[in-house]
Chains A and B, each alone.
Chain A
Amino acid sequence: MSKPEDLVRKLPNDIGGDPAEQIERRERDLEPWEKRCHALADVLDFHKIINTEEKRRGVEALGTEMIANLSYYERWVVAFTNIAFEKGILSPGELAQKMDELRSRWTC
């Protein structure tokens, strides 16, 4: 990547043909929350609240650092909340409040 325009023309998900390591044949079952997240994605797409392409673009928009440091479904859920904020579906404050509420509900 020499020029700034390269960063724009080749987004973080655009990796076809990039050099990469050996394939590690990792398999693991999803955590229950990850499966709920996947189901959420399907329901959001079905209702066209957040379609699959929007999710894809939303994950891309997280940028290289988040993409590298968040796991697969972590990226999805952050992308969803960002898009929900952008669309005015909910506000960051509402989400924070609800997370607080759930945190106390689950840990008491």
Chain B
Amino acid sequence: MAGRDLAVSKSVHDHSHDSAGDSNEPGYFELMEAALRELLVEKRYFGADEIRRQIEVLDSRTPALGAQVVARAWTDPAFKTRLLADGRAACEELGISFYDDTRLIVLENTETVHNLIVCTLCSCYPRPVLGLPPDWYKLKPYRARAVVEPRAVLAEFGTIIPDDVEIRVSDSTAMVRYLVLPRRPEGTEGWPHEQLAALVTRDAMIGVIPVNLPAGAAR
């Protein structure tokens, strides 16, 4: 195993989980990542530029992309139909490419159904369209509890769903990823696309909160 072999011969570096800012010395795992990457490049498994390019791709993926998809679905019923039929293809229509083999299923919140997404086994998340997930999504409390007590979990986010609305929890496994299409708030009729998109947050597309109007919004 990696840990044992390496600790024997090399000095142990103090590593901090939280900050690289403490000193100029790299942490143990940071060194391991760099060493692994350099060796793989040296052995021609891939080019160094591929890593740089993928970092750029990761940096370019944020919830703003998902918000574009949602705003478009709210205003274009034909697009919404296509989106619900094949999430990935519809995103690609908007120029959001997928850099992996995953499929996207978009879950529509309605008057009768509220959707919530989770990955109990790891941290599957629709990264191509939302960017990287927040810590809480990847940690045990959310992953363990969302499938067994979704209403209590939602309440912790300040979201209360009436009992006559079905809560549907989708557990991401294998190569399917989910995105929640939240309900369009009342009072947004006629709003321009960008103004609608600006309302849509990452957490609404995970399903833990609804889309709200900003406090004091008037039209």
Q: Which residues of A contact B (CB under 8 A)?
A: 13-28, 30-33, 35-40, 42-47, 49, 52-53, 56, 59, 66, 70-74, 77-78, 80-82, 84-85, 89-90, 92-96, 98-103, 106-107
Contact = CB atoms under 8 A, between A and B. Distances in A.
B144 A15 contact: yes
Interface of B: 1-3, 5-6, 9-10, 13, 15, 17, 20, 24-27, 29-40, 43, 45-46, 50-52, 54-55, 57-59, 99-100, 120-123, 132, 134-136, 138-145, 147-148, 153, 156-157, 171, 174
B37 A47 contact: no
Given A14-B121, A30-B132, A56-B121, A23 B29 contact: no
Contacts of A56: 121-122
Contact of B100 (A33, A42, A72): A42
Contact of B134 (A21, A26, A59, A107): A26
B147 A17 contact: yes
Contacts, number: 183
A78 B34 CA distance: 12
A86 B118 CA distance: 31
A77 to B, nearest CB: 5
